[in-house]
A and B are shown apart, each in its own frame.
Chain A
């Protein structure tokens, strides 16, 4: 044993360990690539073949708390949907509003007798799920309703959207249908444009992929249509024990063997947060809800089932990649920096492999997404180009075009990087993926200051919208570890949606 070099073995073991850390960063990239590569297969595997003309009796339940500014227009638009009026009931559940919501809804009740109904909860503020359940109990009290549409007070359904959803319910295997929630603020700013692009990526893109894979992650809260049978099968009510009632409803539907279909051509316009702070609160609620979902359904992940596809490898890897993305980013950075300090040649090689994979995935996803909703993405072209963040694009360029950042650009100015300079440039490139989340956090902190009004948007363009979402997910880890109160926190709506 005297010839065994323990020092060399230790170095090798450490290198392997650091490589494993770097490899964690590749998992979300591969999951993203998998999601987007299957999208064109929606041409062959979609639900249109089984859809038939079908206009069941639809009860629309709208939870409303202090929605006086928007509820009248919402009801008017629902009453002008391209859908048989005698098959349409609208129930506005007024969650103990303190503004003029009751008066506005009662006026609409008189204007549309037999179609619009005002329901009042005297005890409010318990959250959307409680409010919905009040309306659902009324709707289920008689057998008129054949399908239930859950929506938000401020969203706008395009005229043909409901009939495009109901056609899928003609297939008895379908339990629920969701629509494309499209960012629809009239006064768009940089953040709502980023959100609009994110929604293109996550809905007409990713949810088409989920249609192909046969498992949907979440019915949109503002547009979920259930059959009566499905609603009764999941208990006749919406789950009230978590902040992720939409996801739990989606999972429960599929666990009982019913399909959930995403209809990309049923478009619903929604007002999304126009400030980082409001977005942070909304997404923190979603992220913490997903922690509940992940724990509650721990028995289904990566386990084959004849009843549903939620346990498929593809669905599981996509779900956990999104949820654990910030951890993967940090571990990947630690691995790269560790290899750099070991002066391992592997550092540059694995950095190139990781970021070239990321670059190709980003390029493919954004090029495809830009074509899925051209009116929206053409208005948001700046956000399409800078979606990964301007600094991340530089990091991508460093990996994809070797020598560009280290040699060619300094060479244009007659400069040459020293060995020390190259080391710290590489250090900066490797640490950036994690540090970008700090940039997003700073953008939120300074948003309400005078300088922040200019600097916060600039920071988000620099660090990337994805890093902002990762920073919020990271915050959800901290809140979970601290066991902070998980409160239902209504996203402020001001009626900015353009019809």
Chain B
């Protein structure tokens, strides 16, 4: 488990030789990074919920 750029723990364990981790490690890192991008959907939904809460407050208390 290693820290990735955004403070999350990534699923790839640290390579024995960081300078030459080998193709299998690098491919695994690419696949992990690709899968992590699916988290964007959840994050966008959370942001949408935040906007929806504002709209609900407006509708309930200010209309």
Which residue numbers of A lie inside 8 Å of B, CB to CB? 39-40, 42-43, 46, 48-49, 51-53, 82-85, 158-161, 163-164, 167, 180, 204, 208, 264-267, 359-360, 363-365, 367-368, 371-375, 400-404
Q: Chain B contacts of A180 at CB under 8 A?
A: 5
Total A-B residue pairs with C-beta atoms closer than 8 Å?
A: 97
- Hey, which bits of chain B sit against chain A, CB under 8 A? 4-7, 18-21, 23, 26-27, 29-31, 33-34, 37-41, 43-44, 46-48, 50-51, 54-55, 57-58, 61-63
| Neighbouring A residues of B54 by C-beta, 8 Å | 359-360, 363, 400
Query: Considering residues A49, A265, A364, A373, which has the most beta carbons from chain B within 10 angstroms of its beta carbon?
Result: A265
Neighbour of A372 across the interface among B6, B23, B29, B51, CB < 8 A:
B6
Residues of A within 8 A of B62 (CB): 400-404
Verify B26–A167 contact, CB threshold 8 A. Answer: yes
Q: How many Å lie between the Cα of A374 and that of B5 in the bound state?
A: 10
Interchain CA distance A374-B7 in the complex, whole Å: 7
Q: CB distance B41 to A48 under 8 Å?
A: no
A402 to B21, CA, bound (A): 59
Q: Given A159-B18, A368-B44, A265–B33 Cβ distance below 8 Å?
A: yes
Task: Say whether A83 contacts B19, CB under 8 Å.
Answer: yes
The one of A52, A204, A266, A375 that contacts B30, using a Cβ cutoff of 8 Å: A52
Task: Let me know if B47 and A163 touch, CB within 8 A.
Answer: no
Q: In the complex the two chains form, what is the Cα distance from A312 to B39 in whole Å?
A: 28
CB–CB A46/B37 < 8 A: yes
Residues of B within 8 A of A42 (CB): 37, 40
Chain B nearest CB, measured from A147 CB (Å): 16
How distant is the Cα of A14 from the Cα of B48 in the complex, in angstroms? 38
B54, closest chain A residue (CB): A363
B47 near A367 (CB under 8 angstroms)?
Answer: yes
| Candidate in A40, A83, A167, A360 with the most chain B CB atoms within 10 angstroms | A40
B29 to chain A, nearest CB (A): 8
Q: Give the residue name and chain of the A residue nearest to B50 (CB).
A: A367
When distances are taken between beta carbons in the complex, the residues of chain A under 8 Å from B39 are: 43
Report the 10 A-B pairs with minimum CB-CB distance, sorted nearest first.
A53-B26, A48-B34, A367-B47, A40-B44, A267-B5, A82-B18, A368-B47, A375-B7, A53-B23, A367-B50
Collect the chain A residues with CB atoms within 8 Å of residue B21's CB: 82
Closest chain A CB from B33 CB (angstroms): 6
Enumerate 25 A-B pairs (CB-CB under 8 Å) in ascending A order.
A40-B40, A40-B43, A43-B37, A43-B40, A43-B41, A48-B30, A48-B37, A49-B34, A82-B21, A85-B19, A160-B18, A167-B26, A180-B5, A204-B6, A265-B4, A265-B33, A363-B50, A363-B51, A364-B51, A367-B47, A372-B43, A373-B6, A374-B6, A400-B62, A404-B62
Q: Are A84 and B20 in contact (CB under 8 A)?
A: yes
A82 x B19 contact (CB < 8 A) = yes
A365 contact set on B, CB distance < 8 A: 47
Are B40 and A39 within 8 A (Cβ)?
yes
The CA-CA distance from A368 to B42 in the complex, in Å, is 10
- A453 and B48 alpha carbons, distance in the complex (Å): 38
Are A53 and B27 closer than 8 Å at their CB atoms?
A: yes
Contact B41 A367 (CB under 8 A): no
Chain B residue nearest to A370 (CB atoms) is B47
- Give chain A residues whose Cβ lies under 8 Å from the Cβ of B26: 53, 163, 167
Inter-chain contact A375/B47, CB cutoff 8 Å: no
- Chain B residues with Cβ below 8 Å from A400 are 54, 58, 62
Q: Which residue of A lies closest to B2 (CB)?
A: A160
- How far, in whole Å, are A49 and B46 apart by their CA atoms in the complex? 26
Nearest-Cβ distance from residue A203 to partner chain B, whole angstroms:
11
Please give, as numbers and ranges, the residues of chain B lying within 8 Å of A48 by CB-CB distance: 30-31, 33-34, 37
B27 touches A39 (CB 8 A): no
With the chains together, A156 CA to B38 CA distance in Å? Answer: 28
In the complex, which of the residues B5, B43, B57, B63 contacts A265, with contact meaning CB atoms closer than 8 Å?
B5
Known: A82-B18, A164-B29, A368-B47. 10 other contacts (CB 8 A): A43-B39, A84-B20, A158-B5, A265-B5, A266-B5, A363-B47, A367-B46, A373-B6, A375-B7, A400-B62
> Smallest CB-CB separation from A396: which chain B residue?
B54
Which of B4, B7, B30, B50 has the largest number of chain A CB atoms within 10 A?
B30
Report the Cα distance A160→B19, complex, angstroms. Answer: 9
Residues of B within 8 A of A359 (CB): 54
B contact residues around A375 at 8 Å (CB): 6-7
On whether the beta carbons of B50 and A364 are closer than 8 Å, the reply is yes
Once bound together, how far apart are the Cα atoms of A360 and B58, in whole Å? 12
Please give the distance in Å from B52's CB to the nearest CB on chain A: 10
Residue in B closest to A40 when the chains form the complex, CB atoms: B44
Q: Give Cα A39–Cα B19 distance, bound, in whole angstroms.
A: 32
Chain A residues positioned under 8 Å from B30 (CB to CB): 48, 51-53, 167
When distances are taken between beta carbons in the complex, the residues of chain A under 8 Å from B55 are 360
With A and B bound together, what is the CA distance between A164 and B19 in angstroms?
13
User: CA separation between A360 and B4, bound complex, in Å?
Assistant: 31
